[in-house]
Amino acid sequence: MIKFFLLLVITLQIPLAQSLTDYVNPFIGTSKDGNTFPGAVVPWGMVSVSPHNSPGSPSGYIYGEKFFYGFGHNHLSGTGCSDLGSVILTITKDDSSFNPDLYKNIYTNESSEPGYYSLTLPEYDIKAEVTASERTGYTKFSSTKKLPYDYSQRINLVIDAGRSLSLTGGGSIKIISQNEIAGSNISGGFCGEDNRQTLYFYMRFNKNFSSGKLWKNESAINEKEISAKDTALGAMLVFPLSPETPLLIKVGISYVSIENAKENLEKEIPHWDFNKVRNEAKSKWEKVLSRIIVEGEEDKIKFYTALYHSLIHPNIINDVNGEYPLMGRNGKGKYDDRDRYSVFSLWDTYRTLHPFLTLIYPERQSEMIKSMIDMYEENGFLPKWELAGNETYMMVGDPAVPVIADSYIKGIKDFNIQKAFEAMLKPVMLNENEDAPPVRAGYHQLLKYKYIPFEQDMNDDWWVWGPVSTTLEYCFSDFAISQVAKELGEGKIHKEFYERSLYYKNLFDTTTLFMRPKLKNGQWLTPFDSLATEGSGYWKGSGGPGYVEGNAWHYTWFVPHDIQGLINLFGGEERFSTKLLRAFAENHFTINNEPDISYPYLFTFIKGKERLTAEYVSSIMKNEFGTGPDGLPGNDDCGTISAWFIFSALGFYPVTPSTDFYRIGIPLFDRITIHLNDEYYSGKTIKIIEDDALFSKIFFNEKEIKDYSIKHSDLVKGGELIFK
């Protein structure tokens, strides 16, 4: 008996292992600057069931807003513009109007975890919960009324099929039976572009509705099916509600057809067990998060939430039967053995997110590259900023090129590299009278002047946003082409495009030590204000004259492929580092502006200044990232900024995608274990060990690293990276 008692005491003192999902806070980044969403989604899922409390905002949600407008079923995470947010579900007392300002509700007690979200609607004594599979959303409305209970209680369900977060595009809706609704929604207008996409849905309830009516604008329609363009439409259905039988709603979605949406629902959630779906969603997150194990409680919430946000986009868009919408044209394609991906925010994600996926989730990155190559075959060019099968042409440069080049050079070889190389070359091997395509706007001028001049009267079909920024982006993409050409033994192409990648030198002013806009006659644009943030577009904050969403301070060091060449242009390391230090000291550096997010790592190229990288990176991770709604320093941009945090926390960073190298900073944790995918890499694990935050030496597999650089190809063989 005494032995049993002692055993019981000892057992109770052993803490239970905590799930990694417990360290994820989906509310991080949901302030007005981060634009993430707190709703239910599984890794890379097509469906995201998330609350709308701020219609028109990029994700539909801003933490702390007063009213709940319903749950949408697809969302963008961390973008600067709104789109999607389609198929909205909510409840209302007043069934005489289909206006969101009248069917909105006060809400309280919201809660979120990976794959699950809930809130309370106090006016109705109802708790609303949502969870999701890859292609199906699941909503539960439960009564919270105390006994004795009024069994005559009814719930008025609103199904808003015509609105999305960006516009009222219309669509269709039809009553199939007393427990089935189907239809479609048209969304689009991303960042003012003319993209439009149709989302199809099939909805099933666990009980029959007692009455219902369809709505078009503000009028009830006595029909079973309606459709309209650029018009509000939907349904209001009345259901009985009791504590024993909550209202359960399953919504399958598809970008191909209603039939596919129904099949998605029936294959993924054939039952009515809400908790089973919730637990499965949590397990899916647990599995992908466990690729990286960090030790120590401090900063785990920051780390695993950043990892969570990095695994939302690009997301799958194919149905369970393999069908998906073709890129840029009507019709559908079909895969039998892999997934199709969508939401390629490539100007952002080529810098951090895709290199991160290449290292940790190469099987997913491979399928994303295959999706991009298929988009080229369907639409004629690699994607630039693709959204649900449409090209939005947002941002600048040719960002698909470094994504593919980086993955191939780092060991992902199971895609058609010849077809990819063909796609890379198509917009840059131009005949003299051939128009440059929008993915390479202004490229004729780049070849003619060896920079893109500032004048906007070019004989080119496409406006160039920020000629300095665009020139620098093209130079880097041309470098990526040169590296693939080198890998493929294309010596002539390698030489030609490497030379093109050095055209950046023509925009560097050795007097002011800035990258500056230049005119066709070779003169610098005057007057010149290095701090100007407007002048390259028609909206505030578009970027200073010649720049994109930034100014001269943000772009002067954006030559990731030739740092030594840039140092030489500055006149040596001293002048280079002095100006770079000014950028940090005078707050010209910003972590939420993609072109300069690698700048803390540039000190590793300067002899005697290498430790400044660790100091700046540590400060940024501590002060710019947090655990509350404002815990991201700006738009997460589909996981880009979160992936910066992850790389920095691991202790190394891809300053130059399209090469085999990382630059070394400082790890955030004492012990980190990365589990590698052995189908792509020969090693099993990478262990990162920080013996001392004031380290003086770095070793990989007992060999000292003196140049603050480590090869990807060495890392993925496995071993220990030790900071001593």
Helix (H), strand (E) at residue 184: strand 180-188
Q: What is the pLDDT of residues 668-682, one digit of tens each?
A: 999 999 999 999 999
Look up the CATH number of the domain holding residue 82. 2.70.98.10
Q: Which of 273, 206, 203 is nearest to 245 (CA)?
A: 206
Q: How confident is the model at residue 32 (pLDDT cuts 50, 70, 90)?
A: confident
Residue 6 has pLDDT above 70, yes or no: no
Q: Give exposure, 567-586, as e/b (b: 16+ Cβ within 10 Å).
A: bebbeebeebbebbeebbee
More confident residue, 218 or 94: 218
Mean pLDDT over residues 29-38, rounded? 95
Average pLDDT (445-471) is: 84
Provide the pLDDT for residue 691: 85
Backbone angles phi, psi at 290, to 5 degrees: -75, 0
Structure letter (DSSP) for residue 709? E
The CA-CA-CA angle for residues 557, 561, 562, to 5°, reads: 70
Task: Decide: 119 and 109 in contact? Cβ < 8 Å.
Answer: yes
**Stretch 257-283: mean pLDDT:** 98
Q: Which domain holds residue 236?
A: 24-289
Q: How far apart are CA 479 and CA 498, in angstroms?
A: 5
Q: Which pLDDT value is given to residue 17?
A: 67
Confidence of residue 4 (pLDDT cuts 50, 70, 90): very low
As given in the structure block, the two tokens for residue 602 are 């540039």
Q: For the residues of 343-391, what is the DSSP string, one character each?
A: -EEHHHHTTTHHHHHHHH-HHHHHHHHHHHHHHHHHHSS--SEEETTEE
Model pLDDT for residues 124-178, shown as the tens digit of each residue: 999 999 999 999 999 999 998 876 666 667 889 999 999 999 999 999 999 999 9
Bridge-based pairing state of the strands 126-132 and 180-188? unpaired
Bridge partner residues of 500 (DSSP): none
Average pLDDT over residues 22-46: 97
Crossing angle of helices 353-360 and 362-379, in 10° steps, is 130
CB count within 10 Å of CB 56 equals 11
Question: Taking 60 as the threshold, does the pLDDT of residue 223 lie above it?
Answer: yes
Instruction: Assess if residue 374 is contained within a domain.
Output: no
What sign for the dihedral angle of Cα 500, 506, 507, 511?
A: positive
* Single-letter amino acid code for the residue at 36: T
SS3 track for 561-608: CCHHHHHHHHCCHHHHHHHHHHHHHCCCCCCCCHHHCCHHHHHHHCCC
Task: Quote the pLDDT of residue 1.
Answer: 41
Using DSSP's 3-state secondary structure scheme, residue 146 falls into: coil
pLDDT score of 93: 84
Given a contact cutoff of 8 angstroms between Cβ atoms, the answer to whether 379 and 327 are in contact is yes
| pLDDT for position 695 | 76
| pLDDT the model gives residue 36 | 98
Cα dihedral across residues 351, 352, 358, 361: positive or negative = negative
Query: How would residue 297 be classed by pLDDT, with cut points 50, 70 and 90?
Result: confident
- Give me the percent of the chain exceeding a pLDDT of 70: 96
Tell me: pLDDT of 13 over 50: no
| Residue 563 clears pLDDT 90, i.e. is over it | yes
Tokens of residue 168, six digits: 């009222």
Structural domains of the chain, count: 1
| Helix 353-360 vs helix 400-409: crossing angle, to nearest 10 | 30
Asked if residue 620 belongs to a domain, the reply is no
Q: Is residue 60 part of a domain?
A: yes
User: With 70 as the cut, is the pLDDT of residue 610 above it?
Assistant: yes
Q: Own/partner pairs for 80-83, CB < 8 Å, 24+ apart?
A: 80/35, 80/191, 80/635, 80/637, 81/166, 81/190, 81/191, 81/192, 81/394, 82/56, 82/57, 82/58, 82/165, 82/166, 82/190, 83/164, 83/165, 83/166, 83/187, 83/188, 83/189, 83/190, 83/195, 83/387
- 163 in Cβ contact with 188 (< 8 Å): no
pLDDT at position 537, please?
82
Does 388 score more than 60 pLDDT? yes
pTM: 0.96
Is residue 55 situated within a structural domain? yes
What's the CA gap between 429 and 603, in Å, rounded?
36
Q: Specify whether the CB–CB gap between 159 and 57 falls below 8 A.
A: no
pLDDT in tens, 592-601: 999 999 999 9
**Residue 459's pLDDT is what?**
47
181 lies in some domain: yes
For the stretch 329-348, pLDDT in tens is 999 999 999 999 999 999 99
Calpha distance 384→347 (Å, rounded): 7
538: amino acid identity, one letter: Y
The rounded distance, in Å, linking the Cα atoms of 197 and 167 is: 12
Number of CB atoms found within 10 A of residue 543's CB: 24
Backbone angles phi, psi at 424, to 5 degrees: -60, -40
Q: What is the pLDDT of residues 579-593, one digit of tens each?
A: 999 999 999 999 999
* pLDDT of 3: 39
- Does 69 reside within a domain? yes
Residues 648/41, Cβ–Cβ less than 8 Å: no
Confidence tier at 473 by pLDDT (50, 70, 90): very high
pLDDT at 460: 57
C-alpha 308/C-alpha 290 separation (Å) is: 11
Is residue 286 helix, strand or coil? helix
Classify residue 232: in a domain, yes or no: yes
**Domain assignment present for 202:** yes
Rounded mean pLDDT of 643-661?
A: 98
Cα 296 from Cα 303, distance rounded (Å) = 11
The whole-angstrom separation of Cα 588 and Cα 480 is 28
Q: Does the pLDDT value for residue 647 go beyond 50? A: yes
pLDDT at 152: 65
The CA angle 631-33-359, to the nearest 5 degrees, is: 60
* Summary mean pLDDT of the chain: 94
